Amino acid sequence: MVCTLLMTAPLGAAVASGQTLDPEALRQEIEQLRQELAEVQRQYGERLSALEARLETAVVPAAAAPVPSSATSKVFNPDIAVVGNFLGTAGQNTVSPGPALEMAESEVSFQAIVDPYARADFFMAFGEEGVDLEEGFLTFPAIPGGLLVKVGKMRAAFGKVNTLHTHAVPWSDRPLIVNNLMGGEEGLSDAGISASRLISNPWIFLEATGQVYRGDSGDVFQSNTRGDLSYLGRLRGYRDLSDDTNVDLGVSYALGHNAAGVVDDVDVGRYRTALWGVDATVRWRPLRQTSYRTFLGRSELVWSRRDEFGGLQSAFGYYVSGDYQLARRWFAGARYDRADRATDGLRDRGQSLLLTFWPSEFSQIRSQYRRITYGEGPTANELLFQVQFSIGTHGAHPF
Amino acid sequence: MKISASIIAAATAVVLAGTSGNAQSKLNVVTSTEDLASIARDVGGDRVSVTALARGYQDPHFVDPKPSFMLAMNRANLYIAVGRDLEIGWLPPLVTSSRNARVQLGATGYLDASLNVRILEIPTGQITRAMGDVHPLGNPHYWLDPGNGRLIAQAIRDRLTTLSPDNRAYFVQRYDDFDRRLAAAEKRWDATMAPYKGAKVVTYHNSWPNFMERFGLEVIGYVEPKPGIPPSPAHTIALIDEMKRGDVKLIVVEPYFSLRTPEAIAGQVPGGTVLILAPSVGGVKEATDYIQLFEYNVNLLAGALKQATGK
């Protein structure tokens, strides 16, 4: 192959310009090239034999740690994964009807270590019609002072369910509190800076988080001037009760400007919304049968206090859920929901039953029976059917 | 006066308690598994304090990245990982949120124990998830070859020396002692297993290639149809046929898998026996350290093979 290239390239050049040369000069040139080639071949032959001899005498170290050659070329590429989410809905819902079948939202992730000081995580949500940056942030894990700092667009650290990606929640939908009190389907998510620190003490894991965001998050917060930032604080406590059982508790607070005072794009009211949240999780996972039995019980309570023209609008909501693993591939769950709506005070109630089958770690098939009694009066009875699947290398989720 | 004196005394006690931990200057070592912890204790002796995250009777692929682990990693001078993507599902978020610059990837305090050991089953061709949960960097259960245990101990000795150069002689002497004890034990295990060279077994998950190769046994099949995929009826029937044809009697199971299918298979094969071997230190209560892990497994396996083969 090398020889062919060596021969054809100069010959081609010679032929291209050789129409004006006389044949004798061309012959001489070819002869000269032949000699040069023979010399190159001889030199390479010698070097090859020397290398072979050295190889024979060389001791192969036991510590050889080969890397698959196909991987070396893309070794610095970020880990890429796609999580598909197909959702089917049957039954009656006159208040908030969803489509019968949809490829709801596919998450594409890119994750890599940036340099010795930071790592980056990007999650894009590909809907059927558009793309949205779900999260895209840089994490500095080794900052002095024991701080863990993140900058970028993030799901706010308000409670538990708000931080989870769609494929990581144990239901086909999100609880009513997310829609009614936390800014709609996506929950609290904005561009900002986050810093968190462990508070060392001899008893429990205690973590304090402070976040500052631009102030635009669903329909909860809206910033009209550069100073309309939103702020979030969270305190999380965790303790192992045994190797198998643990408790996770959190208190969250968020404050930001809302859109209640905006008239013709001018914020005449300067109103604010404050959110309080309390969350509690109990996990049981017997270590001897981690693949067969788990239980996760969780509840989150959210209080919203929204200033508006008419005064203070208070709203409250919560959910309680339980998920139990019946067998290696089967999970059953239930959830009770109740949530006032932040703006009009109407109260919705919901109940759900779920059954999930995991063909493997990388795919799951879920069905959910959901009954919601809306504040306006009507009741919706729906059956949700969801297929989720993951390809590529998706980074592990935080606990 | 009395009160203020006792306050000062209490405050002094607190300050002293706070500093006494540093005064001992023990290296805090945290490991992914109990095997690595055992070897780290063998080499580090009383100059290290070692904590393992996963228990020996727990599936090391599926460990919850609990915040309590984060606390342990927060204080670590050295983290020792199994590597080869074994911990891919749980270790990265722990490292990131440990808030400990010493144990970040690439730092001196992060040791991937797999980097200078002998790894089997590194895929050479294209791999896909159609093959199940395959490990693209080779089989990560490499510590189940005592030869690799020795190489892990060397790596730990060298890294501890880098982190605490004053204790170099101590770590070298501790390693040499471990090496001698391991070599003596290996002779014993080789003698015990010698009659059964070439014997065939079935295992639940592909956790044992290093162990079986080291002791000359052949794994002819797995209870799992593919790595990480639970047993299926069709595969189970095929496996029973294969065991009958090859006169294979032993099914080796890790303590964290259900015994239902292995026992059903054993019931269908003449002389079929299910054997729970410890894949890690602490997997059974007799496997108290790295050498005892092999002691237990070799004796149990040899006893079962003696019964099965009549040798």
pLDDT score of A377:
92
Q: How far apart are CA B24 and CA B160, in angstroms?
A: 16
> Do B70 and A248 make contact, defined as CB atoms within 8 angstroms?
no
Residue B19 touches chain A, beta carbons under 8 Å = no
pLDDT value of position A59:
41
Q: Cβ contacts (< 8 Å) between A62 and chain B: which residues?
A: 116, 118, 151
| Averaged pLDDT, B125-140 | 89
| Structural domain includes residue A116 | no
The residue with tokens 């001992």 is: B24
Q: What residues in B contact A197, CB-CB < 8 Å?
A: 99
Q: What is the DSSP letter of A228?
A: -
How many other CB atoms are found less than 10 A from the CB of residue A329? 17
User: Per residue in A143-173, pLDDT tens?
Assistant: 888 899 999 999 999 999 999 999 999 999 9
Query: B64, B75, B85, B96: which to substitute to probe chain A, counting the most A Cβ within 10 Å?
Result: B96
CB contact under 8 A, A246 and B59: no
Domain-wise residue ranges, chain B: 2-187, 194-309
Band (B103; pLDDT cuts 50, 70, 90): very high
| B178 contact A CB<8A | no
Is A161 inside a domain boundary? yes
| Nearest one of A157, A185, A159 to A171, comparing CA atoms | A185
3-state SS, residue B192? helix
Residue A68: inside a domain, yes or no?
A: no
Residue-wise pLDDT for B178-218, tens only, equals 999 999 999 999 999 999 999 999 999 999 999 999 999 99
Residue A264 tokens, joined: 């013709």
* pLDDT band with cut points at 50, 70 and 90 for residue A184: confident
Residue A232 neighbours by CB under 8 Å, 6+ apart: A156, A157, A158, A188, A209, A210, A211, A212, A213, A252, A253, A254, A255
Which tens digit of pLDDT belongs to each residue from A19-53? Answer: 455 778 778 877 888 888 777 777 777 676 666 65
Give the H/E segment covering residue A2.
helix A2-18
B42-68 average pLDDT score: 96
Say whether residue B108 is in contact with chain A using an 8 A CB cutoff: no
Rounded to whole angstroms, the maximal C-alpha distance in chain B is 89
The CATH code of the domain that includes A243 is 2.40.160.10
Residue pair A198/A359 in contact (Cβ under 8 Å)? The answer is no
Q: Give the minimum alpha-carbon distance from B9 to chain A in angstroms, rounded to a whole number.
A: 20
Q: How many domains does the structure of chain A reveal?
A: 1
Range name among A117-121, A365-369, A392-396 with the lowest pLDDT average: A392-396
Answer whether residue A97 shows pLDDT above 80.
yes
User: Domain range holding A162?
Assistant: 137-392
Q: Which residues of B touch A246 (CB under 8 A)?
A: 66, 68
Residue A357 lies in a domain: yes
Of A240, A290, A362, the CB nearest to B59: A290
User: Would the CB atoms of B116 and A395 count as touching at under 8 Å?
Assistant: no
Residue B168 pLDDT level (bands cut at 50, 70, 90)? very high
Question: Domain for residue A28, yes or no?
Answer: no
Taking the Cβ of residue B96 and every Cβ of chain A, the question of whether any pair is shorter than 8 Å is answered with yes
Q: State the Cα–Cα distance between residues B122 and B127, nearest whole angstrom.
A: 11
pLDDT of residue A72: 54
Instruction: Quote the pTM value.
Output: 0.84
Sheet holding B273-276, edge to edge: B218-222, B200-203, B250-253, B273-276
Q: What is the pLDDT of residue A55?
A: 55
Give the per-residue pLDDT at B134: 86
Q: What is the DSSP string of B68-133?
A: HHHHHHHT-SEEEE--TTTTTTTHHHHHHTT--GGGSTTSTTEEETTTTSPPP----S---GGG-S
- CATH entry, B2-187, from 3.40.50.1980, 3.30.460.80, 2.60.40.1930, 3.40.250.10: 3.40.50.1980
Q: Which of A113, A136, A110 is nearest to B110 (CA)?
A: A113
- Which ipTM was obtained for this model? 0.85
User: Does B19 score more than 50 pLDDT?
Assistant: no
Residue A131 lies in a domain: no
Is residue A271 one of the residues assigned to a domain? yes
Q: Please list the residues that pair with A92 across neighbouring strands.
A: A381
Q: Which of residues 52-91 of B touch A (CB under 8 A)?
A: 55, 57-59, 62-68, 70-71, 74, 88-91
Nearest CA in chain A to B74: A146
Q: How high is the pLDDT of residue A10?
A: 38
Q: For B194-309, which CATH class? A: alpha beta
Amino acid at A95: V
